[in-house]
Amino acid sequence: MSCHGVRVIEPGAAELPGAAAGSRTFRLLNDFQRGFPLVPRPFAAIAADCGLREDEVLDALRAWQASGVVSRVGAVFAPRRIGASALAALAAPAERLEEVAARVSAVAEVNHNYQREHAYNLWFVITAASSERLREIVAGIERDTGCAVIVLPLEEEFHIDLGFDLAGAARTADKEAAPSVRATPEVACALPALERGLMRALQEGLPFESAPFEMLGRKAGLSEAMAIEMIERWLADGIVKRFGIVVRHHELGFRANAMCVWDVPDGEVGRIGRLLATEPAVTLCYRRRRALPGWRYNLFCMIHGRSREAVRMARDDIARRLGLDRWAHEVLFSCRRFKQQGACYLTDADK
């Protein structure tokens, strides 16, 4: 349901169109969120693997993108490996929420912007070319809205963006593997000009054409082979966490989600975070810097589910088994989605 450009998260969203579980098109959507073939004709390679024709793969992806199921096909960049990024929040007066949300969403470098059930009722992710640019964005939002912004940089990631298993779980087939744990660097790497050009071209995703890397390379001033080689190197170096189909959870039937937070002693948060990250219901898990005195919490996880009740039950079960609720905690359910897109680290001003 859409209201003035705002996506309302509520029951009743259509189930996944054109991809019944177990079908060849279902495999296309489920299996290629990771491990996307980095070859000159990737959609032909996927078609051969799924028992489809190349044109069927491209038509399915175009239809899913038009319906909102697929955001894009491309790279998910690792937080703070390049540029700067942070989760941020503010408390907007209820009568001004949509006005304030529109101002936040207008920033190109804001890629997610949600209303959540909390005094801090607007939560957004900023990805920018530099820490200086991130601070400029925050200052501009505060100036234009009159709302103070809390900024919560990532300090340690335990499990981030491994996709959605459409067969039922919220994590992809490698969910039994040990979670990814990485302390984020204070200073991100600086990409050379050629790589920045490719990154800028890739932010909107691959074109749905037979030779997408050739078109991508041409846009960035590179050969097809060089574009593929750079992406392979980014994956090997951990700059890109995964390359593949990026889906939107709500349109896939995961209609409810909650950000669950705890105030865990600093000496315990790493151990607890690693345990929390192994839970199948947890789709994201990380440590963030506190913003005292207003925000005391340092351990975050996301739980997505097909109903609010399912999310709450999963959260309470995990908290009981791990003993999490001995510490101060809150559950922030999403209400409305104002913006969701791929990260935009580089704008035209960063050329």
Distance, in Å, from the CA atom of 272 to the CA atom of 22, rounded to the nearest integer, reads: 36
Report yes or no on 149 lying in a domain.
yes
Residue listed under structure tokens 């005094």: 119
- CA-nearest of 330, 34, 50, 252 to 163 is 34
Report yes or no on 192 lying in a domain.
no
pLDDT score for 230: 94
155, 49: one domain: no
What percent of the chain lies above the pLDDT cut of 70?
A: 79
Q: Is the pLDDT of residue 144 over 90?
A: yes
Q: Grade residue 170 by pLDDT with cuts at 50, 70 and 90.
A: very low
- CA-nearest of 2, 306, 327 to 164 is 306
35, 116: one domain: no
63, 108: one domain: no
Compute the radius of gyration of the chain from its Cα atoms: 20
Kindly report, residue by residue over 20-79, the tens digit of the pLDDT: 545 677 788 888 988 899 999 999 999 999 999 999 999 999 999 998 888 889 988 877
267, 130: one domain: yes
pLDDT score for 341: 76
Average pLDDT estimate for 158-178: 53
Distance, in Å, from the CA atom of 120 to the CA atom of 309, rounded to the nearest integer, reads: 23
Q: Grade residue 9 by pLDDT with cuts at 50, 70 and 90.
A: very low
What 3-state class would DSSP assign to 254?
coil
Report yes or no on 5 lying in a domain.
no
Range of the domain at 126: 84-181+250-340
Q: Grade residue 92 by pLDDT with cuts at 50, 70 and 90.
A: very high
Distance, in Å, from the CA atom of 185 to the CA atom of 111, rounded to the nearest integer, reads: 21
DSSP 14: P
Residues in contact with 53: Cβ distance below 8 Å, sequence separation at least 6, in sequence order: 47
Report yes or no on 236 lying in a domain.
no
Give the number of domains in the chain: 2
Q: Is-cis flag, bond preceding 293, omega within 30?
A: yes
Q: Is the pLDDT of residue 168 over 80?
A: no
For the entire predicted model, the pTM comes to 0.76
Distance, in Å, from the CA atom of 266 to the CA atom of 263, rounded to the nearest integer, reads: 9
Q: Is the pLDDT of residue 155 over 80?
A: yes
Final residue of a structural domain among 67, 98, 129: 67
- Of the spans 49-58, 214-223, 321-330, which averages the highest pLDDT? 321-330
